[in-house]
C-alpha cells in the first residue's frame, strides 16, 4: 500500500513539473520583450526619422542623395512612416547613418527663408537627435517638415 502511494505522489510531481515546463515554453513574450530597441533597424546610408522620442515608434527611412557634393531638400509631406502616417510635423527623434550633413527645417510652405531647427555634420555616422519632453530641444518636437542634405 505504501509503494502505491509513493508511485502516485511521484506521478503527481512529475505531471506538475511537466505542466510548468510546458507553460513556460508556451507563454507568449511580454510586450517589453517584443518591442524594438531604440533607433533599431536604420540601414547604412540612410537617415531614419522616428515618430516618438528616443528613437521609438514608427520610423521613416530617408535615403540622402549620392556622395559628390550633391545637395537636396526632402519635404516630409511626401515621406511616410512605416505605419502609413505622413512624417511632416511628426518627427520626434532621428539617427543619421549616412556621411551627409542634414539640416532639419520648419518649412511648411516651401518658403525661401525656413526656420532651421537642428543640424548634424558630415561624417558623423550614428548622430542622433531627440526632441522629447525634458530634452534641450523639446521645442522642436513635431515641427520638422523638411530636411536639407549635403553629401560630400
Domain parsing of the chain, residue ranges:
2-34, 47-151
User: CA 85 from chain center: how many Å?
Assistant: 14
The residue among 119, 121, 63, 110 whose CA lies nearest residue 88 is 110
pLDDT of amino acid 150:
93
Which tops the pLDDT comparison, 91 or 32? 91
Concatenating the DSSP letter of every residue in 44-100 gives TT-EEEEEEGGGEEEEEEEPPPPSSSEEEEEEGGG-B-TTS-B-TT---EEEE-SSS
Averaged confidence pLDDT in the chain: 80
Please tell me the pTM assigned to this model.
0.73
Rounded Cα–Cα distance for residues 100 and 77 (Å): 21
C-alpha cell at 113: 527663408
Lowest mean pLDDT among 26-30, 58-62, 84-88: 26-30
- pLDDT at residue 112 is higher than 90: no
- Average pLDDT in the 49-56 region? 96
Rounded Cα–Cα distance for residues 39 and 128 (Å): 9
pLDDT of amino acid 110:
60
* CATH for 47-151, options being 2.60.20.10, 3.30.70.1250, 1.10.1380.10, 2.40.50.100: 2.60.20.10
- Average pLDDT in the 62-70 region? 82
Lowest mean pLDDT among 15-19, 50-54, 131-135: 15-19
CA-based radius of gyration for the chain: 25
- Average pLDDT in the 20-41 region? 53
Amino acid at each position: 500500500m505504501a509503494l502505491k502511494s509513493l508511485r502516485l505522489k511521484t506521478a503527481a510531481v512529475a505531471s506538475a513539473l511537466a505542466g510548468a515546463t510546458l507553460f513556460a515554453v508556451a507563454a507568449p513574450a511580454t510586450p517589453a520583450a517584443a518591442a524594438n530597441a531604440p533607433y533599431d533597424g536604420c540601414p547604412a546610408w540612410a537617415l531614419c526619422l522616428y515618430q516618438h522620442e528616443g528613437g521609438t515608434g514608427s520610423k521613416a527611412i530617408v535615403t540622402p542623395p549620392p556622395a559628390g557634393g550633391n545637395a537636396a531638400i526632402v519635404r516630409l509631406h511626401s515621406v511616410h512612416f512605416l505605419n502609413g502616417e505622413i512624417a511632416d510635423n511628426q518627427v520626434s527623434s532621428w539617427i543619421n547613418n549616412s556621411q551627409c550633413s542634414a539640416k532639419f527645417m520648419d518649412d511648411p510652405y516651401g518658403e525661401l527663408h525656413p526656420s532651421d531647427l537642428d543640424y548634424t555634420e558630415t561624417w558623423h555616422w550614428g548622430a542622433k537627435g531627440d526632441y522629447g519632453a525634458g530634452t534641450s530641444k523639446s521645442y522642436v518636437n513635431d515641427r520638422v517638415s523638411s530636411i536639407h542634405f549635403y553629401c560630400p
